[in-house]
Structure 1
Amino acid sequence: MRFLQITTKKYKKISDLTYTCESRVKYNEYVYRMLNKLLTDYKERFTYRMLKILLDTDLGADCDDAGALALLHRLADEKLCEILAVTHCTSEKSGAVAVKAINDWYNRGDISVGQYDVKAFMEGERYTRYTCEIMDKYLENHSVPKFENAVRVMRKALASNNDVVIVVIGMLNNIAELLKSEADDISPLNGVELVKKSVSSMYVMGGNFEDLSYEEYNIVQDIESAQCVSKNFPVPIVYSGFELGTNVLTGDNLEHQVEENPVRMAYSEWNKVVCGKEAFRRSSWDPITVYCAVIQDTPLFKKSAPKNITFDDEGKTLVTDGGKDCYLIAKKSNEEVQEVLNQLIY
């Protein structure tokens, strides 16, 4: 377990508590209480180190990005991770503003937010199904934020940290640009060298490992970047495939949150636009990816054997044995995964 390991007879691994709960009481009534107890005990007796997370998202086209960011903040609340930065990978500024609004909502307004600054990449109404509403609400009490280029934000985070886990829940264009970046005022290392020095692994929501002929959304939106990253990323990539999250429906707790909650707004507005009615459930591709990046030995999922994973010119997933990468495999039912994630998205 990367962030901590408790192997005494008194306690099980912390991540086991996110699934095992004999009384089946709500996660935030039982697991949070026990988690805090274990963390306090651990800090008194062991050397404690949190995971450092850099999140890259296309927040705007679908609402589960917002759910994943909420989940990441809840795990950070429990001192399981530190959020170094969040970068946005489309040209829609409302998406980056929505990221900033969510970070502020969870009392982490100091987190650096980076913006993909190439024009006309995934712009338009399809990619602002809820972000404009969040932005408008945010700007009622805030000035328009300015965002630095996403690659510079990532390079700054990596230059000043080691053992970083990158989590990608959108297209891979920002990561491809990071790999292509040259030495600069931030670091004398080029992108590949900087990643090799500072990143321990990268978790990517992408591909389909049950149906290799399926052209998964995050890949086909920028096949060239997906191919570049899959072939050139110098440290292990863990892929979270499309098949894992489709039938894991989360967001139920958001209905009971205040209307100003930007994550509630994301789920509500997305469902109104796409489904024609207000609802608070959505598939959980991105929350699963974030959860597994932080809780790396979760009993809910396991890793495949090492693989070579890349993508063909149509975006189909190519998998062969060997290599440094792998993909996640579900160990528990959709309902069991859903129960855990739902208690972290609010």
Structure 2
Amino acid sequence: MKQRISLVIYCVLTVLFTACGSKKQNQEKTEQMTEQKNSTTLVIFDTDMGNDVDDALALDMLYKYQDAGKIKILAIMTNKCEDGSAKFLDIMNTWYDYPDIPIGVCRNGADCSKGPNYALSVCMMNLFPTTIKDYNALPDAEKLYRQILSAQPDGSVVIISTGFSTNLARLLDTQADEYSKLTGKELLAQKVKYMSLMAGAFKMAEHTEYNIIMDIPAAKKLFAESPVRIITSPFEVGLAIEYPGASIENDFTWAPQHPMIEAYKAYMKMPYNRPTWDLTAVLEVLEPNKFMTLSEEGKITVADDGITTFTPQKGGNQYYLMTNDEQNKQILDFFLKIIPSKPKNK
């Protein structure tokens, strides 16, 4: 009889503990889902601002998502070693009411002296206020990367690179310093969730994409040694989606003076449409898995001549984005909705 009673008590307690455990697990799962839904994505933007105007439009989208509390821009790095790039970023930060976003610079990098420099052109207009007093005192990008990353939670940061891989390759080579005992590669592995790059071409035979060929050794190093997942938006994706010059001319009457609009006008003779290469790399971070198709897992290699090749590989942590005609239309509609919209402080 005692054995039966003990057995009954044991069964009752087991049911109770199981129910409590399941309730706790469900509660924890709900809390995790809520936290994930409400979390703010931490972003570092690495850009060759001043080479092609799509960088300016891409940065506009990042500000809008920070306005909405969906992302936090931890820092902006320029990988364009030309006068005007950092100052234009300062103009943009100031105009969008984020003057405290730190800026890191690239010194002795790729030669970008050929071609138009809309960033410098806008700076010379003297139409917009700035915040930074001494641009020569700005930190090297790899140093600022270390400072910013070391202070973030593990696996919390997304890096968006829409220019050359110079800064990231240099970061990989860094050693322990006052900010972290970790090497650059270890710091990336610990702090970065993934990287979204505008780089390469995979559906256009023998095409050498600009961001790759401007610093081939850096691109080779990044794809070969990155300890974190890389998603790249290749040349063919942005090429298929052009932002219309008509929008630049007609959709910004609410802003008599707008640095992004002045940049667009300074880049080429108006009116013109421009591919949205850098915007698509940003879009994948802002709206992951919503508009574009992700390739199978694999590995991206960069040849000595700059040609990029994707090889499917089980367990590979590198991918590229693809779109079809319908997706291209949806993406353009999204761009035409968000980019002409007012920032919160205007």
Q: TM-score, normalised by structure 2?
A: 0.81
Structure 2: which amino acid aligns with 1:317?
T
Structure 2: which amino acid aligns with 1:126?
G
1:98-113 equivalent positions in 2, closer than 5 A: 98-113=88-103
Cα shift at 1:46? 3.0
**1:184 and 2:177 are equivalent in the alignment:** yes
1:241-320 equivalent positions in 2, closer than 5 A: 241-250=234-243, 252-255=246-249, 256-257=251-252, 258-272=255-269, 278-279=270-271, 281-298=273-290, 300-320=291-311
1:64 to 54, 63, 69: 54
1:202-250 deviations in Å (ceiling 9; x for gaps): 0110111212421111101111100000000101100100000113111
Q: Structure 2: how far apart are the matches of 1:308 and 1:125?
A: 32
**1:53 and 2:43 are equivalent in the alignment:** yes
The residue that corresponds to 2:111 in the other structure is 122
1:195 to 164, 188, 193: 188
Q: Structure 1: how far apart are the matches of 2:257 and 2:133?
A: 18
Cα shift at 1:319? 1.5
Structure 2: which amino acid aligns with 1:134?
V
The percent of aligned pairs where both chains have the same amino acid is 28
Would the aligned equivalents of 1:206 and 1:241 in 2 still touch at CA under 8 Å? yes
Would the aligned equivalents of 1:67 and 1:345 in 2 still touch at CA under 8 Å? yes
Would the aligned equivalents of 1:267 and 1:279 in 2 still touch at CA under 8 Å? no
Can you give the 5+ residue segments of structure 1 that lack an aligned partner in the other structure? Answer: 1-41, 273-277
The residue that corresponds to 1:85 in the other structure is 75
Q: What is the DSSP-based 3-state SS (H/G/I as helix, E as strand, rest coil) of the residue aligned with 1:343? A: helix
Q: TM-score, normalised by structure 1?
A: 0.81
Q: Structure 2: how far apart are the matches of 1:136 and 1:264?
A: 15
Cα shift at 1:51? 0.7
Can you give the 5+ residue segments of structure 2 that lack an aligned partner in the other structure? Answer: 1-29, 341-346
**1:222 and 2:215 are equivalent in the alignment:** yes
Work out which of the two has the higher radius of gyration on C-alpha atoms and give 1 or 2: 2
Q: What is the DSSP-based 3-state SS (H/G/I as helix, E as strand, rest coil) of the residue aligned with 1:46? A: helix
Indicate the RMSD between aligned Cα atoms, in angstroms: 2.1
**1:210 and 2:228 are equivalent in the alignment:** no
Cα shift at 1:317? 1.1
Cα shift at 1:259? 4.5
Cα shift at 1:137? 3.9
Q: What is the DSSP-based 3-state SS (H/G/I as helix, E as strand, rest coil) of the residue aligned with 1:99? A: helix
1:161 to 149, 152, 160: 152
1:178-197 deviations in Å (ceiling 9; x for gaps): 10011111111110000001
Would the aligned equivalents of 1:165 and 1:202 in 2 still touch at CA under 8 Å? yes
The residue that corresponds to 1:233 in the other structure is 226
**1:336 and 2:333 are equivalent in the alignment:** no
